[in-house]
Amino acid sequence: GNSVTQMEGPVTLSEEAFLTINCTYTATGYPSLFWYVQYPGEGLQLLLKATKADDKGSNKGFEATYRKETTSFHLEKGSVQVSDSAVYFCALHFGNEKLTFGTGTRLTIIP
Amino acid sequence: EAGVVQSPRYKIIEKKQPVAFWCNPISGHNTLYWYRQNLGQGPELLIRYENEEAVDDSQLPKDRFSAERLKGVDSTLKIQPAELGDSAVYLCASSFGGGSTDTQYFGPGTRLTVL
C-alpha cells in the first residue's frame, strides 16, 4: 500500500537557521505530494504541493521538489522564524485512494 | 471566504455516552472527509462523501460510528457508545473534487476526551 515516512522529531533550530525535513514515500504509481502545517491549536493548513515529477512547490519561503528517482519530497527553508514553529506533515494522494499522511515532525524555533 | 467550520471544538464525555460532531464545509465543495488524528500521529481517513453519497467508509468502525451528510452540505459524525480509545481529534475536510490533485481544506477539529 501507499505510505509516507517522515523525519522523526522533534526538531529544534535557532532563528535564521536552514531547515530540512525529510520525507520519502512508497506508492503504486505517481502520486500528488503535499506538505501540511499545523500551528498550535489550529487545524491543518496546506503549505505546498506538487502533482508531478520534478515539480517544485513553494509557499512562505518553504520549498519542496518532487523527486521520482529518490521517491522523496523534502521540505526546506533557508531562514526559519519563530513563527514557523508548528507540526509539519508530509502526505501523498494517488488516484482515487485516500490521502495518506506521515506521522508529523514537530519544529521548534528558538530566538 | 469562510473555511471549514466544526463544532464543538472540545468535548469531554464519560465512556459509554454518545457524542456527535458537526461540520460545515467550504461552500461549493462536493467532497467531504472525516479524519481521526491520534496524539502524535497523522490524520487517518474515516469516511469520504461525494455529495450525499459515502463513497469510502472502509475505515469507519461501523459498530459504533455513524455519519451522515444530508442534502450534500453539512455532515454529522456520531459515536455511540464512546470508548476510552476514541479519545482523539476529529477533523473534517472538504475539497472541490475527490481527485489526487484536489486540495483538501481542513477545519480546526474537535478534540474528544473520553473518561
* Tens-place pLDDT, residues B80-100: 999 999 999 999 999 998 887
- Residue A13 pLDDT greater than 70, yes or no: yes
Establish if B4 touches chain A: CB-CB under 8 angstroms: yes
- pLDDT score recorded for residue A86: 96
pLDDT band at B38; cut points 50, 70, 90: very high
- Would the pLDDT of B40 be above 90? no
Q: Is A48 on the interface with B (CB under 8 A)?
A: no
- pLDDT at residue A42, rounded to an integer: 84
- Grid coordinates given for A85: 514553529
- pLDDT confidence band for B1 (50 / 70 / 90): low
Chain A interface, mutation test: which of B29, B32, B50, B100, most A Cβ atoms within 10 Å?
B100
Closest partner CB to B98 (pick from A42, A45, A96): A96
Residue B4: its chain A contacts at CB < 8 A? 43
How many angstroms separate the CA atoms of B66 and B81, rounded? 11
Question: What are the b/e assignments for A60-70, b being 16+ CB within 10 Å?
Answer: eebbbbbeeee
CB contact under 8 A, A45 and B106: yes
What's the CA gap between B57 and B95, in Å, rounded? 17
Summarised one tens digit per residue, pLDDT across range A28-46 is 888 999 999 999 888 899 9
Instruction: Fill in the amino acid letter for A29.
Output: G
Instruction: State the pLDDT at residue B108.
Output: 93
